[in-house]
Each structure stands twice: as C-alpha cells, then as structure tokens.
C-alpha cells in the first residue's frame, strides 16, 4: 500500500468518477485504474463498485476512506514537520546560561528567536559555567551562554558579545573620588570575586588585569553569583573587577572606574557540541551574534 494509491482512492471516492479523478491528479485514467486495482489487491478488499456508468463505495470502501484520509493528513504533517526541523524552524532546545548573561543579552536573544522561530520550544536554565560545560559534553544541554575566555575540548564556542571590565567600588569608598586614579592605587584594597572554581578562565582574565598593573589582588571574599559580589562591594566589603554592564546596573550604589583600554575584555559566547547536528542551533547562533552586536552598540 503506497501513498499515491491512497491519494488515488480518495480522489475517486470523492469524485465518484475515474475520469474526473484522473484529471484532478494529472494522470491517465488507465494508470489511475491500475493504482486502485493494486490497492484493492494489497488489501484483499473490494473498495469500489464500478461499471461503465457509475462508481460507488462499498461498505468496506466507506470505512477505508476515513482511515485513508487520516493517513494522508498524518503523512503530510510528518513531511511538513521534518522539513521545518531540517530548516531549523521547529524543534526543541535545552539552553543554559550564566546569571550575569541573563540581565540583558539572553532575554533579548530568546525574545527575538521566539518571534522568528515560534515553533521552536525551549528549556532555559541558569547554570554555572563549569556545570554548563559538563552538561554540554554529556549531551543534557544543547547550547549554553558562558563567559569567555574558555578553551573546551569537544565544544564549539561562538563569541556573541564583548565588553570591557571595569573597577567597581562603593560610592562611599575612600578612593571613589580620587582623580585621576590607576588600578595600581588599589593594590592594598580587599577584592570581592566570583569564585574561580565556577569559571576558572574568566577568573584568570580579570586577575590578569591586576597582574599587568603590578600586583596580585587581595581576595577577601568569593561568591557563586556576580550580583552577590556587587552587593558586597556596595556594602563596602571590598572592590571588584566585573563586566561593565553588570556594574552599570547598580550605578546608584557603585562608583565605576574604567580600566586601561588594552585590558582583557569580558566576552559572552554561545557553546555547543562540536558535532552537533541541529539546524535550530545554527539559527540560534546566527541570531545571537546579531543581537550581541545590537547590545554592544547601545
């Protein structure tokens, strides 16, 4: 039993005429008759009464018509679904993100993606960088937004956003009004930091800025969330080097100082498995790069 045989049968059943059905299907009448005969032979059931003047459905043919129409609808929907998935226009993605990327970038990307590809569904989870890497490698995440730099075996990283690091301190900090000031002026100050164990290379990136200034930061408090680190900075526990966008969100509480223009940048990348074969991921990456450029231009 083939789909073309089902289509031929449904056409004849509706038209109750082989000649009209043949015209509708753009095939010859003998070819149409042969398909119906082959279908009946496969089923070992007579579906149509026909003579030179009339065509009518048998009782079995009436019952089979309903099922044949359902099979054709299902086949059409299956083909459409496969085509949409192959084009990245449908499917499901499991996405992780670091909390610091969720402030502006990730919501903008997901909102734009939903508008462009409404048939793609998401699971979105706040996952620390080291845990995202593990889940991506294990296959329990399809994509992850992480902060660079990172070199991760088995993963492909596509930078989607870059911004400078800045030095943040409480507005009441003794050095907050020091003009001009350099990072070296803060060599004796206590630092608050996002813990190295959660994002080792991100930690190394910002501490390298201190090393370039001639000192190692005196870290008195580590946290598992950057927002917590900034809250501690606002409370006067210490100063911190953080991505610019994070510090600016607390501009009423913090004094923010620029760092040398040639300092390391804070980058956000979208990470996927190197062998990933999911067209929806390709669309997500392309759109993330586009939205990242918009965020940088603001």
Return the CA Rg of the chain.
32
Entry pTM = 0.68
Taking only the tens place, the pLDDT of each residue in 250-275 is 888 899 999 988 888 888 889 999 88
Cβ contact 161:146 at 8 Å: no
- Helices in 166-225 by DSSP H: which ranges? 200-212
pLDDT in tens, 124-164: 998 888 899 899 999 999 999 987 766 778 899 988 888 89
Domain boundaries, the chain: 3-86, 91-159+267-297, 163-265
Q: How far apart are CA 274 and CA 287, in angstroms?
A: 19
CATH architecture of 163-265: 3-Layer(aba) Sandwich (3.40)
Q: Please give the backbone phi and psi of residue 259, each rounded to the nearest 5 degrees, phi first.
A: -105, 165
CATH topology of domain 3-86: Arc Repressor Mutant, subunit A (1.10.10)
Domains 3-86 and 163-265 share a fold: no
Establish whether the linkage from the previous residue to 210 is cis, with ω within 30° of 0. Answer: no
Task: Match domain 91-159+267-297 to its CATH number in 3.40.50.720, 3.40.50.1820, 3.30.70.20, 3.40.190.10.
Answer: 3.40.190.10
What H or E segment, with its residue span, contains residue 190? strand 190-194
Beta-strand pair 143-148/218-223: unpaired
Q: Give 170-208 pLDDT, tens digit per residue.
A: 999 999 887 778 899 999 999 999 888 888 888 998 999
């Amino acid at each position: 039993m083939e789909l073309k045989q089902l289509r031929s049968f449904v056409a004849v059943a509706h038209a109750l005429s082989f000649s009209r059905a043949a015209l509708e299907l753009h095939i010859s009448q003998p070819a149409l008759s042969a398909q119906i005969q082959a279908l009946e032979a496969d089923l070992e059931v007579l579906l149509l009464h026909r003579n030179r003047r009339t065509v009518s459905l048998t009782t079995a043919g009436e019952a089979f018509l309903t099922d044949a129409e359902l099979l054709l609808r299902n086949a059409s929907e299956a083909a459409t679904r496969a085509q949409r998935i192959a084009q990245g226009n449908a499917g499901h993605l499991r996405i992780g993100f670091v909390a610091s990327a969720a402030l502006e970038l990730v919501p903008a990307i997901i909102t734009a993606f939903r508008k462009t590809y409404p048939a793609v569904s998401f699971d979105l989870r706040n996952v620390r960088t080291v845990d995202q890497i593990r889940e991506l490698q294990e296959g329990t995440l399809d994509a992850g937004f992480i902060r660079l730099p990172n070199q991760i075996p088995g993963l492909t990283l596509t930078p989607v956003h870059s911004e400078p690091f800045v030095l943040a301190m409480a507005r009441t900090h003794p050095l907050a009004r020091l003009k001009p000031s350099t990072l070296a002026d803060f060599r004796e100050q206590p630092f608050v930091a996002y813990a190295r164990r959660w994002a080792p290379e991100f930690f190394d990136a910002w501490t390298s800025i201190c090393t370039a200034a001639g000192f190692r930061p005196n870290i008195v408090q580590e946290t598992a969330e950057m927002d917590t680190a900034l809250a501690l900075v606002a409370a006067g526990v210490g100063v911190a080097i953080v991505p610019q966008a994070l510090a600016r969100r607390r501009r009423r509480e913090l004094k923010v100082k620029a760092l040398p223009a040639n300092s390391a940048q804070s980058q956000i990348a979208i990470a996927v498995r190197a062998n990933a074969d999911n067209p929806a991921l390709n669309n997500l990456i392309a759109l993330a790069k586009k939205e990242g450029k918009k965020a940088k231009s603001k």
